[in-house]
Amino acid sequence: MKKKILYLFSDTGGGHRSGAKALMNAVEGLKPGKFEQEMVDVFAECSGFLNIFARLYAPVIKFSPRMWGMLYYFLDDEKKLEQLEAISRPFILKDLTKLIKKTKPDAIVSVHPLVNHLTAQAIADSGLKIPFIVVVMDPVTLHRAWITPKVDLCLVATEEAKKLAVKYGMPVKKIKVEGMPIDPRFAKGPQKKKTPHKFTVLLMGGGEGAGGMYEIIQAIDLAKLKVQLIVICGRNQKLEEKLKAEAPNFGFPLKVYGFTDQVPQIMSQSDLIITKAGPGSIAEALAMNLPIIITSWLPGQEEGNVRFVEAAKVGQVTQDPEKVVEIIRDLQDPNEYKKIQKNIERARKPHAAFDIAADIIKYL
């Protein structure tokens, strides 16, 4: 009988789901057909009531990111988290324990901060001995909610995250720095670019296609930069349709995608990425040796990512479309480009998903 790995996530943003998928693919890549793997959206499966709040995440970050930032910092407090857990427990613990008893996994992997304390309790209540591994999906400034000392292993992306995990009560011996789990297809790194090759700028705004993308395209057009542009609009259909209709009017070649699973191939043919400060996008860009321009970020959880890009000198940060144009122009100088790529080489961890997968497999 195959041993089973249960991944716990919630669809609050696309990062948690894609992190779990990356790990599943990496486990399968290392040991094809050896393990049974299952992903469970904890709030959807175990608490209809809490799932209502989970579904509010997308509209809140879209229409009131400031409110989200305030909530993030408000809850980054031990006592408030204890109160939140006490309020949540009656709505989820019983069904979560039931799920664990029913599925009887040989290991549980969490990629979401708000289920870890309750999962540790549910495992204890189930009476089963199951290794519990947390993979922290905030690469630099992790929220206190991620940390419960009752886990068997806590995997973080950076030394900065490790320091915070220790500060929040995680025993050092339970922490390992492995990097961000991204789709194993990125582990191959950039493939050979097609020739003849024109300097190619990739513009994306996360799953929701956010971050003033149209204004950036207009600024690039106005500056008459000698580039070609690839735009991934995500779920922003309105932007996708607008750009496809206007593509012939711009003074550069423009290719437009909606939500796509071809990001590794697209990044491979790009020279530079303009994106929001999502942890997955940054890790993917580094894996593909791409300098980064960050143009938007979520207050709270993505601010640390912005600081990381600047501190590691792997990119620049600006919300001004004209400044974006200046940075692109600078990076078209081969000497400037080589400088930033040396910094990227130090920061990139393209094999992180496989390294984490190997850590998980050791518990089976």
Residue 55 has a pLDDT of 63
Q: 58 and 170 share a domain?
A: yes
Question: Sheet containing 254-257: which strands, arranged edge to edge?
Answer: 254-257, 228-232, 200-204, 272-276, 292-296, 315-317
* Number of neighbours of residue 4 by Cβ within 10 angstroms: 17
* Residues of the chain falling short of pLDDT 70: 12-14, 46-61, 195, 206-211
Is there a contact between 108 and 117 (Cβ–Cβ < 8 Å)? no
Same domain, 143 and 88: yes
**3-class secondary-structure state, position 17:** helix
**Three-state DSSP class for residue 360:** helix
Surface-to-core class of residue 227, CB atoms within 10 Å of its CB (0-12 exposed, 13-18 middle, 19+ buried): buried
| pLDDT tens-digit map of 263-308 | 999 999 999 999 999 999 999 999 999 999 999 998 888 999 999 9
Question: What does residue 192 show for φ and ψ, rounded to 5 degrees?
Answer: -60, 130
pLDDT at 325: 97
pTM of the model: 0.90
State whether 222 and 152 are in the same domain: no
pLDDT of the residue at 361: 97
146 and 272 share a domain?
no
The enclosing domain of 275 has a CATH number of 3.40.50.2000
| Same domain for 337 and 199 | yes
The pLDDT value given to residue 26: 97
Whether residue 331 is found in the same domain as residue 356: no
Sheet containing 107-110: give its strands across: 35-41, 3-9, 107-110, 132-135, 153-156, 175-177
pLDDT digits over 30-52, tens only?
Answer: 999 999 999 998 877 765 545 55
- Do 137 and 62 share a structural domain? yes
Domain shared by 209 and 77, yes or no: no
pLDDT of 164 reads 95
Decide if 119 contacts 97 (C-beta within 8 A): no
Whether residue 105 is found in the same domain as residue 194: no
Number of compact structural domains in the chain? 2
pLDDT at 230: 96
Q: Are residues 160 and 192 in the same domain?
A: no
The residue segments making up the domain with residue 295 are 188-347
Q: Are residues 176 and 199 in the same domain?
A: no
Check whether residue 143 and residue 193 sit in a common domain. Answer: no
